[in-house]
Structure 1
């Protein structure tokens, strides 16, 4: 139907329907009637902008009513009920973890600390503690008993999520969930690519119908054994009594940052005795010795070039430089000698006005005080953290005491996490050709 014949208002509609010939044309068939009604509705909406807003409001209202009703097949909707289980926001969330049974009851730190604070004497608090212990005891064979209360999985995973954002190692390492205190993890026992790869796979070129030579890789395993990391703090009782909102902020920010801090220290330089084995102490780590005549506590361009040359080729795209803050002056003033002259090799042009590029030989540079101090072994490292394993125990506990610091009117609080970390590769690799071994962990030796 031509647009010029379509009415746009109620008056024009009445006029069209009062015309016998027009009415006959409109009612000629179901199709002409449907087309007329559709065109009229479209033109009417154009003539009154408020119609579109009314349609939008009514659509939203109807959609809201649908969402309030029963779950529709194929649609996953957010449950906004006050007692609903919160949506997991962390990739560390494990629905099968012991603490997952507590998520519906404790949706935030405020509700959890209100119940587990040693100074809480309400019936609600006693009932909540009993429920936590009941669930904790049902996992007695896999959850160590330290006297504390099991932390809900939603809160545990949130602690790890925030820690992930501030950590140097965890955010780049290979994280392995641990449902028990000890988890064996497979590895390929590879030490050389000279005649085979992946610890024993050998390839042969053979003639048609020729005899094949047997070969097989040599597999080993790494035992991840959860070590106990205890975070301890003393908190004024007033925070528990009057300002749980402030305390929740503390738990959402300070504890995750502390967790990331102490984990990073262990993942970097831990000796493996009662704590993770840090990448600086990895059996596969390669140390680059200083140059002939190199002054103490200095870093020269040749050090970095040689470190880069010893990185495992498959790790080049993931490797990062990890350096102590004290190394920055050496890196920023480092020069490449060319004959009797030379030039800066890192900062480049700009007269010192622009920020440094924070990349060396194309790989990112991460400054951290957790690396060795300048001049010591490992003050700057080239690392592929894809070869570092972190074992995450799927249970975390919290405990408070009002007696230990009774005279100070403080609550002693501790959070116990269990975690392990160790290098995945146990030996530097001898390449097929070349005179130097290769590794995903390369550090500079001490320059005394």
Structure 2
């Protein structure tokens, strides 16, 4: 066992011993002294581990051959010999007939591909052409930029995090933490937070496209078309999953989350309608009113034009749409977003009030793109394959009960079916 391994094992034991002392009902002066001594040892070990790791890295770099092959790593820029996507596609086509260009060899070697036999797995697409697809899609549309998004680094296929497990803050916070007025209890009970470790595996989002050999004649058009098409496809597919994904091989949408709150329709409410009481109840059961957004189907948005607050035998308008270019429609001070991924008018999910910052999206940066002529060889077409890895879910999986109220609060509020 190396010195670093011994130190890491010791760190693990120190943490266990510190936890045992901290969990005691009452720590004696000796316990406190022991805890502080272990804390000092832990900090010193951390410094030693850092020094050993830095030294090992220096020695590794020093032992690399000066004239040896340069190995690409996540910190080294990958070669980008091509000016646009179609120029590389043209070389890929020529490589299928034995004419492999120097530029294609550079890209394939850097990506770990096979430059001789395209049917063994296709040819890798230059990284900046693949990466620009996700870079554009991740900031496109109305929904994705508002999510809490994280890019997963190389070497990892999942994300883990620890969250507070709570569904009731009427008597405690952080899943069980309480404090007491000393005069209210002869003995103050020990409390601690309840934590839940969660894990999310990345899933594959795949797409295929075909193009004929006449790429040379329409190179600029095809380059722009493919980029725009897959940008839009990624954006729309992700947005649909964020709203209503079932969580099986894809993100879990907030409409299928256990933490959402569904507001029932009013007595006698007509099918496919939205009234002021629906809106008021949804707004007041939002967990954080300052960060929510109205998210609705375009057909549901249209219903707001006819919405009024009843006064006597008549009524007054309660919704005023934006009247100047560049403004966004708002209601109760919150923006209104449209998405046809929401349910059809009258069905649960057509009209929602959501805090999109409470939805976590993890993705592996860039699109894995490859092409081969062998899939559609008989029809003289190139096959292009695009794989993007991502997953997402609401951060909370429980609605929250507050003090002196029977109504549950949530970052995701939806209106029940009116039919």
Which bracket does the TM-score occupy, shorter chain normalised? 0.7 to 0.9
Query: Would you say the 8 A contact 1:270–1:281 is kept in 2?
Result: yes
Query: How does 1:74-93 map onto structure 2 within 5 Å?
Result: none
Q: Which residue is equivalent to 2:100? A: 122
Q: Which residue is equivalent to 1:60? A: none
Q: What is the CA distance between 1:105 and its match in structure 2? A: 2.6
Q: Which residue is equivalent to 1:174? A: 148
The Cα offsets for residues 161-183 of structure 1, whole Å up to 9 and x where unpaired, read as: 31133233321111122231122
CA shift in 2, pair 1:364/1:443, >3 Å? same
Q: Which residue is equivalent to 2:349? A: 378
The Cα offsets for residues 176-213 of structure 1, whole Å up to 9 and x where unpaired, read as: 22231122122111111011112222222336xx8654
- d(CA) in 1 for partners of 2:208 and 2:102? 26
CA shift in 2, pair 1:348/1:102, >3 Å? closer
Determine which of 214, 219, 222 is the counterpart of 1:238.
Answer: 214
Give the secondary structure class of the aligned counterpart of 2:400: coil
Q: Which residue is equivalent to 1:302? A: 277
Q: Which residue is equivalent to 2:369? A: 398
The Cα offsets for residues 251-277 of structure 1, whole Å up to 9 and x where unpaired, read as: 442221211111111111110011111
Matched, 1:163 2:111: no
CA shift in 2, pair 1:149/1:229, >3 Å? farther
- d(CA) in 2 for partners of 1:390 and 1:423? 9
Q: Which residue is equivalent to 2:258? A: 283
Unaligned runs of 5+ in 2: 1-71, 115-119
- d(CA) in 2 for partners of 1:411 and 1:100? 32
Unaligned runs of 5+ in 1: 1-96, 137-145
Determine which of 221, 225, 228 is the counterpart of 1:250.
Answer: 225
Larger Rg over CA atoms: 1
- d(CA) in 2 for partners of 1:171 and 1:99? 26
Q: Which residue is equivalent to 1:48? A: none
Q: Which residue is equivalent to 2:245? A: 270
Q: TM-score, normalised by structure 1?
A: 0.68
The ranges of structure 1 where at least 4 consecutive aligned residues each deviate by more than 4 angstroms after the TM superposition are 97-102, 106-109, 148-157, 353-357
Query: How does 1:217-232 map onto structure 2 within 5 Å?
Result: 217-232=193-208
Q: TM-score, normalised by structure 2?
A: 0.72
Matched, 1:293 2:268: yes
Q: Which residue is equivalent to 2:6? A: none
Matched, 1:188 2:159: no
Superposition RMSD in Å: 3.1
- d(CA) in 2 for partners of 1:223 and 1:282? 16
Query: How does 1:397-436 map onto structure 2 within 5 Å?
Result: 397-436=368-407
CA shift in 2, pair 1:298/1:116, >3 Å? farther
The Cα offsets for residues 80-139 of structure 1, whole Å up to 9 and x where unpaired, read as: xxxxxxxxxxxxxxxxx9776454435754388348735543332551353134389xxx
Query: How does 1:130-141 map onto structure 2 within 5 Å?
Result: 130-134=108-112
- d(CA) in 1 for partners of 2:125 and 2:192? 45
- d(CA) in 1 for partners of 2:167 and 2:225? 47
Query: Would you say the 8 A contact 2:294–2:352 is kept in 1?
Result: yes
CA shift in 2, pair 1:396/1:157, >3 Å? closer
The Cα offsets for residues 280-328 of structure 1, whole Å up to 9 and x where unpaired, read as: 111101111111000111111111111111100xx21211111101113
Q: Which residue is equivalent to 1:368? A: 339
Query: How does 1:6-45 map onto structure 2 within 5 Å?
Result: none
Aligned length: 338
The Cα offsets for residues 8-53 of structure 1, whole Å up to 9 and x where unpaired, read as: xxxxxxxxxxxxxxxxxxxxxxxxxxxxxxxxxxxxxxxxxxxxxx
Q: Which residue is equivalent to 2:23? A: none
Give the secondary structure class of the aligned counterpart of 2:278: helix
CA shift in 2, pair 1:264/1:348, >3 Å? closer
Query: How does 1:346-365 map onto structure 2 within 5 Å?
Result: 346-347=319-320, 358-365=329-336
Query: Would you say the 8 A contact 1:150–1:396 is kept in 2?
Result: no
- d(CA) in 2 for partners of 1:280 and 1:186? 23
Give the secondary structure class of the aligned counterpart of 1:287: strand
Greater mean alpha carbon deviation, residues 110-119 or residues 382-391: 110-119
CA shift in 2, pair 1:107/1:191, >3 Å? farther
Give the secondary structure class of the aligned counterpart of 1:193: coil
Q: What is the CA distance between 1:433 and its match in structure 2? A: 2.2
Q: What is the CA distance between 1:403 and its match in structure 2? A: 3.1
